[in-house]
Amino acid sequence: MDGERLASGSSELAVGESPRGGAPIPDGSGSCSLLQADVLDLDEDEDDLEVFSKDASLMDMNSFSPMMPTSPLSMINQIKFEDESDLKDLFITVDAPESHVTTIETFITYRIITKTSRGEFDSSEFEVRRRYQDFLWLKGKLEEAHPTLIIPPLPEKFIVKGMVERFNDDFIETRRKALHKFLNRIADHPTLTFNEDFKVFLTAQAPELSSYKKQGPSLLSRMGQTVRAVASSMRGVKNRPDEFMEMNNFIETFSQKINLIDKISQRIYKEERDYLDEMKEFGPIHILWSASEEDLADTLKGIASCIDQCCKATEKRMTGLSEALLPVVHEYVLYSEMLMGVMKRRDQIQTELDSKVEALTYRKADADLLTEEIGKLEDKVECANNALKADWERWKQNMQNDLKSAFTDTAEENIRYYEQCLATWESFLTSQTDLPLEEDSEDKI
Amino acid sequence: MEQAAPDPDRQLQPAPVESLGGPGAVLEAAVGEETEGTREDSAGVHTMTGNDLWLKKIEISVSEAEKRTGRNAVNMQETYTAYLIETRSVERADGQSVLTDSLWRRYSEFELLRNYLLVYYPHVVVPPLPEKRAEFVWHKLSADNMDPDFVERRRIGLENFLLRVASHPVLCRDKIFYLFLTQEGNWKETVNETGFQLKADSRLKALNATFRVKNPDKRFTELKHYSDELQSVISHLLRVRARVADRLYGVYKVHGNYGRVFSEWSAIEKEMGDGLQSAGHHMDVYASSIDDILEDEEHYADQLKEYLFYAEALRAVCRKHELMQYDLETAAQDLASKKQQCEELATGTVRTFSLKGVTTKLFGQESAEQREARVKVLEEQINAGEQQLKSKNLEGREFVKNAWADIERFKEQKNRDLKEALISYAVMQISMCKKGIQVWTNAKECFSKM
């Protein structure tokens, strides 16, 4: 789900491998028939089983939909789950940050391009600009509508430590990537993807959005909800079912560990950067030295060149780390906070039920009314629990895959780094000694 | 520790250089009067070949270090380290080595030996001692002289020093050096009795000469520049290398934290648990691998340090040349002015300012006898001066010839040693990369099995 890349100019749906053993989908125009066959029964009530293809011969496959294929620009690789639609029909990109200055404030907006074939969207392509506040709004609405679903996390509002200016380039780029991920995770979520607020977010122009936002429950009533939520969570949950106890324990431990991993990974990045800085100074000294040596000049220059190559390899390694590992780990740090919130909300719903049940035991007077309310609440609790259970399994699966990928990629980056350095030094050694290398090393000149 | 005792390729040339050493300096030993030179085999064993019937090999090693306490010169308790020097003679016939001498020396005695050699062999690039205090330290390395790692590296450095002296065609024959290896008690007194401290050139004189010398041999001037550059660049290199080592240490050690956290995390994971646990183990391996890597690098740094200190030895030879040259120039100047004075007296013309001229003006001309007497004195002085100048010239040329021969020998040694050291650095990097590939390949496997 997170391996989305814009592969420009490809004329057919190129689907990457699924590392978790999802139906491996071969490339090639003949793939469409296979795809259709592999798609499991889904109770999709929308005709979104479209395959984007310029190949007209495939049009008969798309007989469900009156939609025309969209531009080739919107072909995106992705990794799908077995139990979800293998055909993605909502493609979102977040890019082109821009700074806006008004008399009151300065803020950044991001361009959001959505391409879709879904019927409920008025058009197949949308372009809007959203600012961070808008994302916050969307998240709040999703949490409201689905209190026990695991909503993807948003990047932090601001990072206090080590930030001189709120809008430095690295910060904006990191945030942009995280926002891109946020929207795509929602798009991939079987339930959230059909959320109305989500649709409005993606499609409404700025003024429309403002007026739409105002329609929601008032600030006051929302605050009231929050107060009740806090109050109930403080009362504690007495009857949390076992599976949710287990879930809670998992979340607590996971949260601890992922936070540590986040810190460790950031620290590694920093140490590598410091190492790189020193190495950059180390190499040139050998060149300086070679100027006063005749016989050693070649050797010294050779070493300087090797060090230089290793510096380049280190830079690559760092880039790899910052792309493959750091953002993923960090997202799961935020996820773990999010999960704790979900647990709280679930507990709160249960507490509502529990307190009504308690009330029933003591106040027989409103028995009928209470019983009715309890009935409703029991339904609510059951819904909430089921939603969470299903989403939990999905989330766990996702988490394992994402982190496994991230660490595997990191290991790969490190292997590549050492292989590059090895090749450099071995080539230098051969040039110096003119002797054959040991048998177990490859000749990588 | 293969890299522990760097075995520089000390190919020795037959000693062409005459010993200009001081009293009793030549080591006659048990080898016979005529020594054709020395040979060395790969174990650092030095054979003194000769016309004699039997050959004697000498093996020198600084095998142990020991902490001791004693009273120092001002009768205060102090702690110091003593080093055990063992000399073995190997009879060629049966190849067995017999311990011939074994004694303990402390660092200050090594210093004494070296200072003695500096005075009596000014034309030789005298091998340097390992550093007195730990320099170019990075955070893991201790600056404490009592730290066992420092003591160990110093032990190796001292052994290296002795081996270099023993393999030097001139220095190896010095008696004081021989006694250093064989006579524990009383050695200090023996050295001091040579009176070498008195013979040492004063620093002030040397400095003065450096500034005022007019025509030093150009090669020495160049050599001085070279040694300044060498010192500067190696210092810089060592400083930055220490910082690099520090940073590298950081990168590796932080990875160790993954080990612990993965292990704790694996407890709550069902499918991922095993993979995480074993990956964590590999992270631990990775983190601990840096210790050996950096220890090897420290030996590399020591090899460079030796040449950093050699730069000073080079400068010492240049200084001696400048001193001798300045001495020569002064003597020549003196002679020239005396000759002129003589001429003026003889011809009666006063071309140069002289005290005599002034007094003549003030007190009247001197008599003919007085003048003649003075001319005679001057002529004697001139004669003596010319002799002196001649011998000084000869001395100077001899010095330059011998010094330059040793410098050439040194240059070749330096090029060999440094090239070897630089290549060993590459070898170390290769080894580090291979270890890294292995660990991360293992880790990747664990991750992909998660």
Interface test mutation site (partner A, options B439, B440, B445, max chain A beta carbons within 10 A): B440
Query: Which of A415, A425, A429 shows the shortest C-beta gap to B444?
Result: A415
Whether B181 and B154 have beta carbons less than 8 Å apart is answered as no
CB contact B431 to A (< 8 Å): no
Extract the tokens encoding A405.
């990928």
Alpha-carbon gap: B52 to the closest alpha carbon of chain A (Å): 39
Residue with tokens 């230098």: A428
Of the listed ranges A56-65, B8-17, B356-365, the least confidently predicted one is B8-17
Extract the tokens encoding B355.
């005290």
Residue A315's pLDDT is 95
Query: Which of B247, B261, B423 shows the shortest C-beta gap to A261?
Result: B261
B 268-327 residues inside an 8 A Cβ radius of A: 268-269, 271-272, 275, 279
Task: State phi, psi for B169 to the nearest 5 degrees.
Answer: -55, -30
Residue A2's pLDDT is 41
Residue A226's pLDDT is 57
Residue B15's pLDDT is 32
> Band of the pLDDT at B91, cuts 50, 70, 90?
low
B 209-228 residues inside an 8 A Cβ radius of A: 226
Identify any residues that bridge with B40 across adjacent strands, giving them in sequence order.
B46
Query: Which of A278, A296, A415 shows the shortest C-beta gap to B240?
Result: A278
A47 Ramachandran zone, left/alpha/beta (phi>0; psi -120 to 50): beta
B430/A272 touch (CB, cutoff 8 Å), yes or no: no
Reference B325, options B245, B246, B215; nearest CA is B215
Whether B175 and B25 have beta carbons less than 8 Å apart is answered as yes
Interface test mutation site (partner A, options B233, B264, B428, max chain A beta carbons within 10 A): B233
Residue A165's pLDDT is 57
Alpha-carbon gap: B305 to the closest alpha carbon of chain A (Å): 15
Q: What residues of chain A lie within 8 A of the CB of B448, using their CB?
A: 404, 408
End-to-end CA separation in angstroms for chain A: 39
Reference B83, options B108, B100, B59; nearest CA is B108
Q: What is the pLDDT along chain A (445 residues), one digit of tens a residue?
A: 444 443 443 333 333 333 343 344 444 444 333 333 333 333 333 333 333 333 344 334 333 434 444 444 434 433 444 444 556 788 899 988 888 888 888 888 899 999 988 888 888 898 999 989 899 999 999 988 888 899 999 998 876 555 555 567 888 888 999 999 999 999 999 989 898 899 889 988 878 888 887 776 655 555 555 555 555 555 556 677 888 888 999 999 999 999 999 999 999 999 999 999 999 999 999 999 999 998 999 999 999 999 999 999 999 999 999 999 999 999 999 999 999 989 988 888 888 888 888 877 777 667 777 788 888 888 888 888 888 999 999 999 999 999 999 999 999 999 999 999 999 999 999 998 874 445 444 544 4
Q: What residues of chain B lie within 8 A of the CB of A274, using their CB?
A: 247, 250
* B377 Cβ contact list (under 8 Å, min separation 6): none
B 369-398 residues inside an 8 A Cβ radius of A: none
Reference B265, options B255, B251, B278, B253; nearest CA is B278
Nearest CA in chain B to A271: B251
- The yes-or-no verdict on residue B378 having pLDDT over 50 is yes
C-alpha–C-alpha distance, residues B144 and B123, integer Å: 35
ipTM over 0.85 threshold = no
B257/A264 touch (CB, cutoff 8 Å), yes or no: yes
C-alpha–C-alpha distance, residues B165 and B170, integer Å: 9
B265/A254 touch (CB, cutoff 8 Å), yes or no: yes
Nearest CA in chain B to A437: B427
> Band of the pLDDT at B418, cuts 50, 70, 90?
very high
Query: How many Cβ pairs within 8 Å bridge chains A and B?
Result: 139
C-alpha–C-alpha distance, residues A114 and A129, integer Å: 11
Q: What residues of chain A lie within 8 A of the CB of B233, using their CB?
A: 285, 288-289, 292
When mean pLDDT is compared over A164-168, B154-158, B436-440, the highest value belongs to B436-440
B425/A303 touch (CB, cutoff 8 Å), yes or no: yes
C-alpha–C-alpha distance, residues A172 and A132, integer Å: 11
Task: Give all strands (DSSP E) within B292-413, no chain letters.
Answer: none
DSSP 8-state class, residue B35: E
CB contact B350 to A (< 8 Å): no
B419/A299 touch (CB, cutoff 8 Å), yes or no: yes
Reference B127, options B399, B310, B319; nearest CA is B310
> E strand or H helix at A93, and its extent?
strand A90-101
B 117-176 residues inside an 8 A Cβ radius of A: none
Residue A273's pLDDT is 95
